[in-house]
Chain A
């Protein structure tokens, strides 16, 4: 029933919020609903149903569900104040505000559905819902750039939709002879149990399509094009959710299918594919970082880089690397969304997103400035923050398994670090520049994320570890 709850609350949210006009109530309700679904996801942790034909909750997706709802909640909290200021400055009209909140809930709904669905078709639908709602939110400012960004996102996303759907069909077709017709041939649990006698070569083709389809959502290298602009032009809460959650969900889908391939002895090894794509993404994003002039786009590229790292980690395979991948995933979504919280306020205070116009923030706005420094150092994988641990695990397992690729990855990381640092020094240090407005801001979400990653960097509770290990074994 908690499962139902995490799907139900957002649904109600969609209906309710798209009706309410008043900003105060709606934004409060938005936060409330996200909190409720977060709470029920916590309860889900305690007591979960057995897998049905449509829904399943296991060690793997519970991690994601928790993470998604937590970040969804904190982002809603952040967006309260953020959106308040946007309305004051007239960036968002009242109509599109209703739209905004409704879409926010539908995004959460879509992601929750995608995460807990036990049916590849259903998962596909859910991810589409999530994508389309973000497409609409990206365009919400109605500036030429915003429209362009969301147009780009929509077209590429649509192609992704099509490819993923084709892949899904192929999976079903390959499963049908073994399992039989109907829904049962689309349920994860059945697919996994019969994985060994699925049609191998069909599986391979199917995985290619899935990889490209959902990889578009995850923003892996040749398919990344929509990601930077969507991050840069949409409202910052959406950038936070995109980087923090939607990319994860897409990767989660890929993981699920990878599990099937791994379970089938004759199918092609998904590992090398993922590794090479991940490596390409890391190197590409690292090099792209240098020429960025818009701070949100900068961090969008850094998200591409980290998706690459995670894909690489899962590509390596093995308990340790998968553990590392999961850890990195959660650390990245916490850190990156926190960074976007900071940037949101900064760009409102300074009325610009141009890196060149930002300077000396640690002097002028200590909390935001040092918060940004902390976040960037964390995302760059420096101790004592959590990303350091996950990168340590990724690299050390990679060094042991594929030294050359790992060395390349390390080079990519250093190059990216250099770029981020250059921009960080420019933004955070030096003499303060430009005028600044007073903005109603709530630091709680940012600080809570930072606290979490700090703790995670130093101490991970043993049962969390157990659970992660269990998952990583499940991933193979």
Chain B
């Protein structure tokens, strides 16, 4: 039955792409269409995961000659299909309303369609050519979406860096895949990688895959494009790029490294863990320094991708040392977190989109007090913030808890390096979680709470009902997956079994709801009971407070320790909120320069504080390359302006040297 589903998915894809022509300005139609499309994809993936069947594959005489285009749906693909289509379903739904706020529909709609379709197809592709084809198509369409607001200078720059990094990644993947394909003379995933290869070659392939997938997922130091490109797109697209497309990259990495490579080397997992750990902490620190909501969210994507990769790295390490159960646990955590992140990152981006369309402001310093004008957005955004800060009882915490538990498995690892590395990665994880919490205190507190800092945020009004509905749906998922993590664990079952050869949480018919608790060794977390208890306690408190306290209250002007200040500019700003952390981490990470400019006492003016942050990775890794290319092209440019005679000299010298080679070498 899944075969039909797969076929349906493909044919509907083609049918759907063919709507590009209709996508003139009729955005509601297109977004409804996308809703249906991704809804169908959702159905397919769910039915596949639940029915737990073996993989289904079909092939067409398209694409690469003599190889043809192969498509395959298996557990891994279908789980990521779930992530993709969940995200696109909600975003398209949001788009139905959001579309009316955006201009130049014709620049977004066709590419939106292609973007959704190509993401699905990347997951289904089962040969190197179609995989890279749709991979690159995905980058291309998202680039076009980024360029949709093409008048802005920084958009052009963002798009430029984005597409360059994307094609760099594609080349890396192409390199990796052709190295895998070379011995087994076939580009089809089923035949690839079955022949065993020596460690060096495998390591090269691994590094290339890490480069390719990492540059799309935004692992540090390949992240530079991400915080520029994601915010530039329309918000529901940023949501897709940040929440979903990065997961496609994760999929690609897992597919290549765990499936196409016959065996893994020991040091790979160490490399992954180090990079991922750095990404988590540095990503969130970058985010803390940002005051543009969407850019901040983009930086958080880097952090969360880091968390996912920590899980993957752990799983690989355990797998190498034969601890299959622990490997399964780590992989469960990673995939669970991937799903969670796609949910709450979508939610937060949609929220920021709502804010932007209400106030057309992305700078937090100009916002504030929105909780009064936009109650629904505020509430859902709060849920999202709590979830992304990995706080109980929401879903973000569950996956990080699982990750912590799998970190606790590490002492059984025989290698000493791992023994010491993994706990410190755990410390990094904790640090990043805490920093994320403070970052979202900043975001929420400055944006929604306090007093309005600008006219727009004073007069802002709640966004349209489609968007609100979409955000509520995601918030609901955050809560549900927090309370009933088993739902996701159950879906993850076949996937994890496919990758890690076993499944940590025993699957049985009744394990769907009972026991609700996740038990690792003898450590348990039971979201459901926790929420129950919280409810009971809260109820008790409400009753007793009502009973023993005076319920009269009045509104007063703020007290503020005796000297309140009327002007909203005297509130704490995002910048000042981040100041202590900047002071602690800034110097060695951003080489921060802080300067306070005071006016002379006899001529009082407002004092100014200037803060300079340097993105050191950009300055020391990317800038030199750009400079070098520029310098070289400057240097050799004279070759355009030579006289004919000098060109003749060139020809002459070439001829003579070639003849010389013939004379003296051969």
Contacts and interface: CB of A to CB of B under 8 A. Distances in A.
| A contacts B: CB pair < 8 Å | yes
Contacts of B167: 382, 414, 417
A222 B134 CA distance: 37
B174 A287 contact: no
A383 B136 contact: yes
B20 to A, nearest CB: 12
A349 interface: no
Contact of A290 (B63, B156, B629): B629
B662 A156 contact: no
Interface stretch (A233-241, A306-314, A440-448, A454-462): A454-462
A458 B63 contact: yes
A462 B65 contact: yes
A199 to B, nearest CB: 14
Which interface residue of B61, B65, B159, B163 has the most chain A CB atoms within 10 A?
B65
A291 B160 contact: no
A271 interface: no
B235 to A, nearest CB: 21
B609 interface: no
A204 B662 contact: yes
B144 to A, nearest CB: 9
A377 interface: yes
How many interface residues does chain B have, given as a range? 35 or more
Residue of B160, B178, B632, B648 ringed by the most chain A CB atoms within 10 A = B178
B181 A396 contact: yes
A388 interface: yes
Interface in B652-666: 653-655, 658-659, 662, 666
Interface in A120-161: 151-152, 155-156, 159
Given A287-B632, A399-B174, A384 B639 contact: no
B657 to A, nearest CB: 10
Candidate in B136, B171, B182, B659 with the most chain A CB atoms within 10 angstroms: B171
Overall SS of chain A's interface? helix
Contacts of B658: 208, 211-212
B482 to A, nearest CB: 40
B642 A204 contact: no
Interface string B618-632: 000000000001101
Contacts of B19: none
A163 B633 contact: no
B431 to A, nearest CB: 36
B209 interface: no
Contacts of A39: none
B177 interface: yes
Nearest to B17: A384
Interface in A363-416: 377, 382-384, 388-389, 392-393, 395-397, 399-400, 403, 406-407, 410, 413-415
Nearest to B635: A287
B62 A458 contact: yes
A430 B650 contact: no
A222 B654 contact: yes
A36 interface: no
Interface stretch (B125-133, B271-279, B521-529, B562-570): B125-133
Nearest to B160: A421
Nearest to B136: A383
Contacts of A287: 629, 632-633, 636
B175 A228 contact: no
B150 A406 contact: no
A392 B129 contact: yes
Given A288-B636, A291-B634, A222 B651 contact: yes
A425 interface: yes
A422 B157 CA distance: 9
A211 B655 CA distance: 10
Contacts of B181: 396, 400
A45 interface: no
Nearest to A292: B640
B132 A425 contact: no
Interface of A: 151-152, 155-156, 159, 163, 201, 204-205, 208-209, 211-212, 216, 222-223, 225-226, 228, 268, 284, 287-291, 362, 377, 382-384, 388-389, 392-393, 395-397, 399-400, 403, 406-407, 410, 413-415, 417-418, 421-422, 425, 429-431, 458-460, 462, 465, 468-469
Listed from nearest, the 5 A-B pairs whose CB atoms lie closest are A396-B178, A429-B150, A400-B182, A225-B647, A465-B65
21 contacts: A152-B644, A204-B666, A222-B650, A222-B653, A225-B644, A225-B650, A228-B640, A287-B632, A287-B636, A290-B630, A362-B150, A383-B133, A388-B133, A399-B174, A399-B179, A414-B164, A417-B163, A417-B167, A431-B151, A462-B61, A462-B65
Given A222-B654, A284-B639, 9 more contacts: A205-B659, A205-B662, A222-B653, A287-B632, A288-B633, A288-B639, A291-B634, A382-B136, A469-B66
